Amino acid sequence: MPEILLAVHAFPPSMGGTPLLLYDFLRHFPDDSLLAVSGPPMDGKSSGQSLPFVHSQVRVLGTRRATHAALRRVPSFCIPLIVGRIVHLARKHRVRRIYAHYPNAPFLIASYHAARLLGLPLAVYFDILWEERGEAPNLARRYEHRIVRHADRRFAITESAVAHLTRKHGVTFDLMPHTIDIQNLKETPNKLPPGKRDRTIHFAGSIYGQMNLDAVKRLGEVVAGLGSDCKLQLYTASSREELLSVGMPDGSFETAFASRDELLEVQGRSDILYLPQAFDSSQPDMIRHNFPTKALEYMLARRPILVHSPKESYLARSAREHGYGLVVDTPDRAALRNAVVRLLEDKALQSELVARGAAFARSRDSREWARRFHAALT
């Protein structure tokens, strides 16, 4: 019998950062301990991941497209539908707690209303900030403080976000970071293939203006001036035409797409793994407190990481403190070029960054954090 009802916008098996984050620690929960209520997958595709939990999808007009359009355009219309589904399933399965995982305002608000109707305790987890993000701003102003104060357990993804939300709402948040399965962490660093001549800088993930576009474009400009033996690989869902239309310099990059397992192999053959965040963003608080999910996956590949992120960001501060990446914290092309050249040539620096990255990944062992999280919820 499930003890916990999880309400979340997207749930594995599906694509995207939030389901991946969820998968990495929920996969270690006891079988059948969870009941999940979510919307349909964002793109209708499956990542091939699976979790042993009862899963119920809320659909508007019975279709994936209509559901996501309604969640985005008329979130208040969706909230009663989600509340009804949560209340019905919680009573049917006699769950003992509701756990709301943000980002998605309608699912978070519905969880709050359902918990009050049912008289159940509510736990909330912010893997990204809500009001500062700008999603459904009227609902954020009306509900964020009310929901946080009502919840009896509150979690955030970085130490920085924990401190920010604790100050903002006057109640305690606990850390529940992005985690990784360290069983995939090799004991020794990857060695590049013998005779490898081209120098490869690798980036994996979505590219968009609010979070990283200007930093990716800047690296493209740097790579364009380094010669034909240096190339930038962008493993992203964006097409070459889309990237050119937003200002990526032609001839400086190549695009590809791969599964998560294939990515690890590709990254293990790369000279540099690039971890950028935007310097020019309409949501600076998101950059200040966010931690990219791809960071830990890069560490599993055991290749040197180049961090390009504003000085005050959590990512830049964390990389400097733990030593898992060479940090360029200014939007200066010359500084970025110097860092790329240094990282391509300095073997001792490469080894140090890789070792520090492996140590940080071990501190984010998904099995250990899943045990702590399950204990906190139950």
Q: Where in the sequence is the domain holding 108, given as residue range(s)?
A: 4-176
Do 124 and 190 share a domain, yes or no?
no
pLDDT band at 18 (very low <50, low <70, confident <90, very high): low
Domain contains 372:
no
Please name which of 87, 85, 79, 134 lies closest in space to residue 108, comparing C-alpha atoms: 79
Model confidence, pTM: 0.92
Question: Residue 15: what pLDDT?
Answer: 47
pLDDT in tens, 275-326: 999 999 988 999 999 999 899 999 999 999 999 999 999 999 999 999 999 9
Contact 12, 51 (CB under 8 A): yes
Q: d(Cα 364, Cα 242) in Å, to the nearest integer? A: 35
Percent of the chain scoring above 70 in pLDDT: 96
| Domain count within the chain | 2
Contact 215, 308 (CB under 8 A): yes
Domain contains 371:
no
Do 161 and 188 share a domain, yes or no?
no
Using DSSP, state whether 121 is helix, strand or coil: coil
Domain contains 374:
no
Do 347 and 203 share a domain, yes or no?
yes
Do 96 and 48 share a domain, yes or no?
yes
Contact 115, 99 (CB under 8 A): no
Q: d(Cα 292, Cα 17) in Å, to the nearest integer? A: 9
DSSP 230: E
CA angle 287, 293, 299 (to 5 degrees): 115
The better pLDDT of the pair 206, 44 is held by 206
Domain contains 56:
yes
Residue at 179: amino acid letter: T
Using DSSP, state whether 11 is helix, strand or coil: coil
Q: d(Cα 111, Cα 79) in Å, to the nearest integer? A: 9
Do 145 and 85 share a domain, yes or no?
yes
Do 15 and 57 share a domain, yes or no?
yes
Using DSSP, state whether 12 is helix, strand or coil: coil
Least confident of 20-29, 121-130, 174-183, 348-357: 20-29
Do 134 and 210 share a domain, yes or no?
no
Do 164 and 225 share a domain, yes or no?
no
pLDDT band at 212 (very low <50, low <70, confident <90, very high): very high
Q: What is the CATH number of the domain that holds 27?
A: 3.40.50.2000
pLDDT in tens, 80-113: 999 999 999 999 999 999 999 999 999 999 999 9
Q: d(Cα 376, Cα 368) in Å, to the nearest integer? A: 13
Q: Would the CA dihedral through 136, 152, 112, 374 be positive or negative?
A: positive
